[in-house]
Each structure stands twice: as C-alpha cells, then as structure tokens.
Amino acid sequence: MKAKVGVFISLLCVTGLGVFWRAEISSYFPPREERPCSCDRCLSDHETFMKRFNRFAEPLLSVRRNLSEENFNWWRRLQSDGRSFSVYKDKVNKMFQVIPTSAAPEPPSPDRCRTCAVVGNSANLKNSHFGPLIDLQSVVIRINKGRTKDFEADVGTRTTHRVMYPESAVDLDDATRLVLFAFKILDLEWITKALGATFSGRSYAPMKSNIKANKDLVMVLNPAFMRYVHEVWLQRKGQYPSTGFMALILALHICDEVHVFGYGADADGNWSHYWEELRNKKLRTGGHPGSVEYAMIEELDRNQIIKFYKGW
C-alpha cells in the first residue's frame, strides 16, 4: 500500500513539474502564429511575394462594390462601347436581379488547403499526361472553350470554374461556376438575358443567344481587377491582359496553392490550342503582351509562388 501511495505521489510531482516547465518555457517562447492554411506552404509564407502582392479587396463584382468612374473609363476603352457610366450602373443592377448579388470566394482556413489548377489552352498540353494531376486539385479553372472530351489524359475531366466572355462561351453542367470576364457593357446584357431568355445583340464575333449554366453559380470579374492586373502585374504592357493571365492572378486571390498548366506559345510563337489546328500562322499573341505574361509566370514559378507545368 505504501508503495502505491509513493508511486502516486511521484506521478503528481512529475505532472506538476511538467506543467511548471511548460509555463516557464512559454514565457520565453511565445505561441506560434496560426497559419492561414494547412498547405505545406501558403501564399502568405512568401515574404518577397507579399511585398508586391496587393490582395485585391473584391476581385468579383457584387452589389456593394461600387466601381469608380475612373475605373469605368479605363475599362470602357478595352473594346469600343460608347455608353455612359449611368448606363453601366443600370445594366449591373439588372444583372444582379438574375445572378447572385455576392460571389465571395471560399475564405482561407488553417485547417484547409485550397489547391487550384489553372488550365490554359496551349498546344504544349498535348501528350503531357497532366490529366490526373489536374483532377487532384480542389478547384479546377478552365478558360474559354478549352475541351476535355478526347483529351482527358492530358487535361483531366473535372471543371469547377469556367472563365469565359460571350464570344467564347460554352454550355456548362449544373455544378460548374461560370466566371464572366466582361469587357464591355454588352457582355453584362448578355449574361442577364442569355441565362433565362434569349439574347439578341451583335459583337465582333458571334455570341450565343442562350447558354446552359446554373445562374446561381455565376460570378463576374470586377472591371477594376482587370486594371489592377494590367497596371500592377504587367506594368501597362500591351493593350490589356489576356483572359488566361487574369485567370491566373484571380487564382492567387482565391487559392492557397496554385498549379498552372497549358500556358505558353508554340514553336512558331503563336498561341495555338491543343484541340485544333491553328489557321492564322501569324497570330502570335494578338493584342496581349504574351512575352511579358510568360516571363511573369516563370518568375512566379522560380520564386515557388506557383508550380508551373510547361508540358512538352
């Protein structure tokens, strides 16, 4: 009996010393700051990156986001649309009668790692066998008419977000988010009408009169975010950023870890697509600063801010 009491007292002493020791140690070493995500590395872990990275308050439009007239005038110059700021505001109000009034991305959490695959349309995806890796990511962002059928081994099968503008629109299943990159007021009218009724309007290229998509999952890029990408990330090079580059920067704002596929020109310097033969052999990168965008992607990869899979 005395032996059992002695063991019990010894255990109490050891426990007390442990509590005392932890209390003393904690006074010298403050508690570790909670990380914003559970990934091996979060974007905020990159000090150099965070110094130049402006986490844009609202990359997506909402009813509470009031676009300044200065930003509207910058946006209006992207493609000819001479209509006024008041017309823009009226069209936005009507649009939010059809689509969700707020499209806030999933917030960061210390117990979650939001991984994103941003899948471009470059021909360098051919025979890449990146499909399974793309499908592993929690968010898969595809751009414009990028196909999956018949290319599953190289580009995967899953799509959670589809970035498009009216001239590049494709029908979506009921679970995929339509992310509209609107370049003109006409695009806002298109999304308002093409989802539920019939759109009739003319542009520089054909526009679908109807689109199959879940209107409750529609998100619209903030025009001010386009300007931010052009001026901060591309230093005003080119006329305006490509849809693909803006999608990549958007991913940096809504993800903790970003994997990038299918970016870059072909051997002739053209932005050709993996699913079709390029007809215009002198296309190059159009009005976009392709070489500047590609150099920035490579810099982000070198600094381990994104993981860039080049293909070929």
Q: 244 a known binding residue?
A: yes
Q: 121 a known binding residue?
A: yes
Q: 79 a known binding residue?
A: yes
Q: 66 a known binding residue?
A: no
Q: Which of 161, 230, 259, 288 is catalytic?
A: 288
Query: Is residue 288 annotated as part of the catalytic site, yes or no?
Result: yes
Query: Is residue 253 annotated as part of the catalytic site, yes or no?
Result: no
Q: 273 a known binding residue?
A: yes
DSSP the chain: -HHHHHHHHHHHHHHHHHHHHHHHHHHHSPPPPPPS-SSSS-GGG-HHHHHH----S-SB--TT----HHHHHHHHTSS-----HHHHHHHHHHHTTTS-S--PPPPP-TT---EEEEE--BGGGTT---HHHHHHSSEEEEETT---TT-HHHH-S--SEEEE-GGG-----TTSEEEE---SHHHHHHHHHHTTS------SS---S-----GGG-EEB-HHHHHHIIIIISTT-SSS--HHHHHHHHHHHH-SEEEEES-S--TTS---BTTS--S-TT-TTTTS-HHHHHHHHHHHHHTTSSEEE---
Q: 288 a known binding residue?
A: yes
Q: Which of 88, 165, 240, 263 is catalytic?
A: 240
Q: 240 a known binding residue?
A: yes
Q: 161 a known binding residue?
A: no
The residues annotated as belonging to the active site are: 240, 288
Numbered residues of the known binding site: 79, 121, 144, 204, 240, 244, 264, 273, 288
Numbered residues of the known binding site for substrate: 79, 121, 144, 204, 240, 244, 264, 273, 288
